[in-house]
Structure 1
Amino acid sequence: MASGFSLKDQLFNREKTRYLAGLFAASHAGFDPDRFEAEVMAELPALELKQRISLIAEVLSRHLPQDPEGMAAAILNALPPPLDPSLSDDDFGDFIFAPLGELVELRALETAPDLSLDVLAEITKRFSMEWAIRPYLVHWTDKTLARMEVWAEDENYHLRRLVSEGTRPRLPWGQAVPLALSQPLPLLDRLSGDPTRYVTRSVANHLNDISKKDPELVLTRLRQWQAEGVQSQSELDWITTHALRGLVKQGHSGAMEMLGYDPAAPVTAHLQLGPGPVRIGGALEFDCMLQGPSDAPVLVDYRLHFQRPGGKLSAKVFKLKQTRLKGGTARLSKRHPLKAGASTFTLVPGLHRLDLLVNGIERGSLTFDLLAQAE
């Protein structure tokens, strides 16, 4: 990411605010785009990303009809054409429409839930309403789930994706919803055979969320989908791998076996560090020699135990290689950068540990001293 890059400024700025104002001015008599823009921009630069969403929703609410029906009509009339239905992935939409979902929640949640769900269904064809739908799952659980049963069969894949993404147990940025982990599974059953990767990725992410609390529930569902054969084998394999990625990092034996890796395979590993000192700002270099049954499939990860302030260790698992032991051996190498001054994780000098994981089982380990960055 380039120095000085600001996501909030890229997503919510004067140009985007003016664009939104133009849509409403063209479709709703009496909407003053200049006044709307001025009111938003008077406060927007000082706010963080989510605060900017709330601000735009609040200012819009002052410029639109006060009754739910009038507000709904104003929003629907202002919407641009839906996102391209011929695409199949990575078409999330324009964040400037996120405030519309918050506006619907702000103004019509308690008094007009059915109308609100109608409006959210249209907005999500322009920008995902995965966050905005969650208050409806809280306040109108049965009504919203019933609507989702219809949406799961809709021809628009953005609406189908909303069913899975909106009910995720651990949706990033999303408020908690009062659903048992198993409650949305009948909806996921319908979506498991979806022809669109944007939808199946959400289904896999949903299962990955569930796996953090109930791994067996996820494994059982994946076995069921395998038996039913409603999805192509290649896509179901992709869903399975993506859904089990959290369990794989944990070395969960059931997940490993489902992916075709035997945790009990008699594999040995010789692990060796590269030459020279290991420093912050440099890289950790290592290689390993694996030996075991000829042509055995292996999933190889490595786990680094980082020093933290106060002397505690913090472990993190990284991917290395999925391969086979051709002729009973495989040699793997890795160069792991040790970036100085990272905003998300600060490296601390001291004794660190490197573990090699083969099919979820630790097969080798060594320690190394991480030195301070060279002057």
Structure 2
Amino acid sequence: MSSKAVKITVFIYSFKAVYGYTYCIEKLWTEIITMEPFKNLYNEDFYLTLSVHLKACLPDFDEQEFMSLMLSDDFEVLELKERMSHTKVVMHQFMPTDFSQAAEVLVKLIASLTKAGITEGSVEYMFLPEYIETYGIDHFQESVKVMEKVTQFTSGEFAVRPFLIKYGNQMLDQMILWSQHQHYLVRRLATEGSRPRLPWAIALPEYKKNPVEVLPILHRLVDDPTEIVRRSVANNLNDIAKDNPQVVINFTKEYLGKSEQIDRTLKHACRTLLKQACPDTLALFGYDSTDIVLTKFEVLTNVVKFGEHAQFSFSVKNNSSISKKIRLEYGLYFMKKNGQLSKKVFKISERHLEAHELHQVERKQSFKAISTRVLYPGKHQVSIILNGKEFAAKDFVLVTSDVRDR
């Protein structure tokens, strides 16, 4: 995968959940149109703006020295995360050595930025939580107080995790308090920061082993009025499901059916269990395969060129006298470099089949070159998955353009 593709992938995954679809798409569209690397969020104009606001908070602040250190000789070769850390380290040289005083400066800095119209969702400022993580780790009370302010301005779930590891239940108790906070981003910090398997972050092995201590946060926020908080609850539960599926099944049983909003959250929380065809989870969400028959499964393109599509079709019929809920997926077995096949599951749809209804499906799978997957010629396979049950796979062959034309 190219470095640019990695940056886009990281951006989409990390920031869509934090700031919502609109913000993510706007930033991604800017990246695609301008072909401007995300690391260039940190540039001379950004540091000039930052220096103005630091000067307002630090009377003896030397703007010229600050800019000189920020835009050092090796600055251009630094990547996004390196520039973020570099910003934190340089700023630290101008901050009070006493962390309680530095924390007060951070609060003043956010107030100054906010007054200037730089508001929540400013991803460039994620170096601020990192500052707390690095320089405040030995100052618990001061750090959690300022983190509560900072996370309302820029996401802090990565920074909170070293505190969970060092302080254990003391930090978890604080996060339970945060789950009751009036600001939705503080509530989100409680659930996103406590995810056992938060992507791109330090793992929390104790919660992977036994997540029971995290559950009070999730119980409180499963019906939160803000969608990104509820999605964070779902993501936390989905993490838990990978190590402790029964915990998530029991949680789902407790809340399923209480409201459509909660049901959507729970279904998103159970997405891994549904993909794994966990019988208890399928039953909870009403998927019933009794008297459902799969027929006429055919691969319509036995030979597929690179850049073209594989096509397949099938039918499902409800032979019962009552409506049935079904979940349709297909498994694509890609040829790997070593000659083995690697399966990836794609969702087709979820729907109700009325009594004796016949539903016909035709699908295409693109084999255009993409940066996230290397395609190899040779035998591939496709299978149909109905309510978690996989039916026998059928073969087709992927070839380079010149092979098929001979």
TM-score scaled by length of structure 1? 0.90
Cross-structure match for 2:358: 329
Q: 1:181 to 1:5 in 2, by over 3 A?
A: farther
Identity of aligned residues (%): 29
Note if contact 2:294-2:314 (Cα within 8 Å) is conserved in structure 1: no
- Displacement, 1:163? 0.5
Match of residue 282 from structure 2: 256
Q: Relative to structure 2, which stretch is displaced further, 120-129 or 244-253? A: 244-253
- CA spacing shift, 1:162–1:56, aligned 2, 3 Å: same
Q: Deviations over 1:131-153 (max 9, x none)?
A: 00001001111221111121111
Give the root-mean-square deviation of aligned CA atoms.
2.2
Question: Is this contact kept in 2: 1:324–1:330, CA < 8 A?
Answer: no
The one-character-per-residue Cα deviations of 1:166-203 (angstroms, maximum 9, x if unpaired) are: 00011011112233322201111111121111100000
Separation in 2 of the partners of 1:55 and 1:210? 34
Report the counterpart of residue 312 of structure 1 in structure 2: 340
CA contact (8 A) 1:267 1:363 kept: no
Q: How far does residue 100 in structure 1 lie from its aligned partner after superposition?
A: 1.1
Contact 1:81 1:126 in 2 (8 A): no
- The within-5 A match list for 1:260-271 is 260-271=286-297
Q: Describe the shift of the 1:57–1:199 C-alpha distance in structure 2 as closer, same or farther (beyond 3 A).
A: same
Letter in structure 1 aligned against 2:311: E
Corresponding position: 1:363 with 2:396: no
Distance 1:312 1:275, change over 3 A: closer
Residues 39-72 of structure 1: CA distance to partner in whole angstroms, max 9, x if unpaired? 2222432122222221111111111111112211
Partner of 2:24: none
In structure 2, what is the equivalent of residue 87 of structure 1?
Answer: none
**Contact 1:65/1:71, CA 8 A, preserved across alignment:** yes
Aligned to 1:70: 101
Match of 1:28 in 2: 58
Report SS of the residue matched to 1:347. Answer: coil
Deviating more after overlay: 148-157 vs 265-274:
265-274
Q: Relative to structure 1, is the Cα distance of residues 74 and 253 closer, same or farther in structure 2, using a 3 angstrom cutoff?
A: same
In the alignment, the residues of structure 2 paired with residue 57 and residue 72 of structure 1 have an alpha-carbon distance, to the nearest angstrom, of 14
Partner of 2:264: 238
Task: Measure, in 2, the Cα distance between the counterparts of 1:305 and 1:267.
Answer: 23
- Report whether the alignment pairs 1:216 with 2:242: no
2:375 & 2:84 partners in 1: Cα distance?
Answer: 34
**SS, match of residue 292 in structure 2:** coil
Deviation string for 1:78-129 (max 9, x for gaps)?
004798xxxxxxx97112221111111222211x111001111100000110
Q: What does residue range 1-375 of structure 1 map to in structure 2 within 5 Å? A: 2=32, 5-42=35-72, 43-80=74-111, 93-110=121-138, 112-177=139-204, 178-179=206-207, 180-226=210-256, 229=258, 233-275=259-301, 277-294=303-320, 295-326=323-354, 327-340=356-369, 342-373=370-401
- Aligned-pair CA distance for 1:263: 4.4
Cα distance change, pair 161–82 in 1 and its aligned pair in 2 (3 A): farther
Structure 2: runs of 5 or more not aligned: 1-27
- The residue type equivalent to 2:105 in the other structure is A
Equivalenced residue count is 362
Shift of 1:4: 7.7
Q: What is the alpha-carbon distance in structure 2 between the residues aligned to residue 128 and residue 265 of structure 1? A: 49
CA positional deviation for 1:318: 0.5
Distance change (3 Å), C-alpha of 1:92 and 1:257:
farther
Task: Report deviation, 1:17.
Answer: 2.9
Structure 2 Cα separation of the partners of residues 11 and 267 of structure 1: 54
Give 5+ residue unaligned stretches, structure 1: 84-90
Segments of 4+ in structure 1 off by > 4 A?
none
CA deviations on 1:218-254 (whole Å, 9 max, x unpaired) are 0101111237x4xxx1111111111111122222222
What letter is aligned with 2:272? G
| Amino acid paired to 1:64 | M
Which range is displaced more, 362-371 or 215-224? 362-371
Q: Could you say if the C-alpha distance between residues 264 and 344 of structure 1 is closer, same or farther in structure 2, counting changes exceeding 3 Å?
A: same
Q: In the TM superposition, what whole-angstrom CA distance separates every residue of 1:11-44 from its partner, at most 9, and x where no partner exists?
A: 4333333332222122221223343233222243
- Flag the 1:92–1:171 CA change in 2: closer, same or farther, 3 A: farther
- Write out per-residue CA displacement over residues 294-314 of structure 1, whole angstroms, 9 at most, x where no aligned residue: 532111000101110111111
Partner of 1:88: none
2:314 aligned counterpart, secondary structure: strand
How far apart, CA to CA, are the structure 2 residues paired with 1:195 and 1:348? 47
Q: Give the structure-2-normalised TM-score.
A: 0.83
Structure 1 contact 101–132 (Cα < 8 Å) conserved: yes
Higher fraction of helix: 2
